[in-house]
Amino acid sequence: MATLLRRLGTRDAALIVMGGIVGSGIFRSPSAVAKIVHAPGLVLLAWIVGGLIALLGATLFAELAARRPENGGLYAYLRDAFHPAVAFAYGWTLLLVSQSGGAAASAVTFAAYIGPLIGIHAPVWILAVLALAFFTFINSLGVRTGTTTQNAFMVAKIVAICALVVVGLFAPQADAAASAANTVFAAVGPSLFLFALVPVLFAYNGWQTASFMTGELRRPERTLPAGIIFGVLGVIVLYLAVNVICVRVLGPVGLAQTTTPASDVARVVLGGFGARAMALVVALSTLGFMSNQILTAPRVYFQMACDGIFFGQLARLHPRTRVPVIAILVQGVAAMLLALTGSFDRILNYVTSIDYVFFALAVVALFIFRARDRRAGSPTIPFRVPGHPWTTALFGLISVAVVATIVLHDPTDAVIGFGILLVSLPVYALFARRRVSV
């Protein structure tokens, strides 16, 4: 059987991590947080806490990658620690919810911004489908081509976000009296602050996607942990800088009242030109995120097929490019269908709750792997979670708390999300039965 080519290094891993996190969320989530907690200090605290939680998750995945440098990332960790059914459930939600919904949302957001910007009056869904088709084609040309494209968009996003921060430094500061009226920390209880973390964690989510590319990384036991840590640290710096500027220029009241905080900051300084420039930045960011989703997730479907628990055609590699072209096509088509139906808006509401269920299982997986490796002779591991077991357990508790908070504040979407998750079990049983009978 043909194998994936190891053509990627630490820089690629770090940029893939950043590309899997930075989409349109940072340009919208600051206002969602401000609506919940109001106080500028609490807005920034929410992004700091969210960054620290993301860093805890990053260290967890860095050690998992060092201990089990196998293709498929979290899918493989869940398979080896628990059961193929658990791993299948994760891949199932990637295809139906997380990756496809994220790619569809990015495509539609891109189309909504770029159409008016360049004077194209075609329906949004046409531009969205064309964008998804383009990146499906690009990623079919080879892992180096797909990764270079993703990296180029990520570098452009970094430059654009830094430009926004610099522009914001020259903007007049928000009215001090209006800001002071909203600085009462005591008005926000722990439950409400936890709920404010949901959009923050959604914006930070995605550090795990680089692990899907393990089979194409050189020395993944070293390059992947380094890429995960550096990538998440880079995103934390970018996100905090954006939020400091948004709070400084718009104030908590203005930030809570807008759905386009970054554009409003640019408009304050540069007028209409600034707003148009920021619309281009958002379109660019969504393109980069779309590229990342179509690059990474098909590697999970490929591994599922190699394990015999998904359609066997998805395990085929192109003889020249050595990438899973059918899996890439399936990912692209799934995202196109969601973009056409518009159902991704609801789907994205389920993403955070489902992801953090699997993050909690990843915590358990690390404890299991440590115990197994200790019994087998404690092999040398290039990266270990600092402060384990306390920091690992803390991330597990936070993951459970995030899921509980979403269930408490948005039970309908949580129930639908868990329903999608449970449907995977009878589907897995069908594939498992077919594998046994072959």
Model pLDDT for residues 167-181, shown as the tens digit of each residue: 888 877 776 544 444
Calpha distance 21→227 (Å, rounded) = 13
Any domain includes 4: no
Least confident of 80-94, 268-282, 362-376: 268-282
pLDDT of 83 reads 95
Any domain includes 363: yes
% pLDDT > 70, the chain: 92
In degrees rounded to 5, what are phi and psi of residue 8? -110, 150
Any domain includes 297: yes
Q: What is the pLDDT of residues 276-289, one digit of tens each?
A: 888 888 888 888 89
CA distance to 8, 41, 374, per residue, from 215 (Å): 10, 43, 25
Q: What is the pLDDT of residues 216-262, one digit of tens each?
A: 999 998 999 999 999 999 999 999 999 999 998 888 888 888 877 88
pLDDT band at 437 (very low <50, low <70, confident <90, very high): low
Any domain includes 2: no
Please confirm whether the linkage preceding 389 is cis (ω < 30° from 0): yes
pLDDT band at 379 (very low <50, low <70, confident <90, very high): confident
Any domain includes 340: yes
% pLDDT > 90, the chain: 46
Any domain includes 51: yes
In degrees rounded to 5, what are phi and psi of residue 217? -100, 140
| Dihedral (CA of 22, 24, 25, 28) sign | positive
pLDDT of 305 reads 94
List CB contacts of 206: < 8 A, sequence separation 6 or more.
17, 20, 21, 23, 292
Whole-number mean pLDDT of the chain? 86
End-to-end Cα separation, the chain, in angstroms: 18
Q: How many domains does the chain have?
A: 1
pLDDT of 346 reads 61
Least confident of 45-59, 233-247, 343-357, 386-400: 343-357
List CB contacts of 390: < 8 A, sequence separation 6 or more.
none
User: Are the C-beta atoms of 339 and 129 separated by less than 8 Å?
Assistant: yes
Q: What is the pLDDT of residues 8-50, one digit of tens each?
A: 899 999 999 999 999 877 887 888 888 888 788 888 999 999 9
CATH number for the domain harbouring residue 77: 1.20.1740.10
Least confident of 154-158, 209-213, 256-260, 418-422: 256-260
Length of the chain (residues): 438
Any domain includes 391: yes
Range of the domain at 406: 10-437
Calpha distance 46→33 (Å, rounded) = 8
User: Are the C-beta atoms of 309 and 223 separated by less than 8 Å?
Assistant: no
Any domain includes 3: no
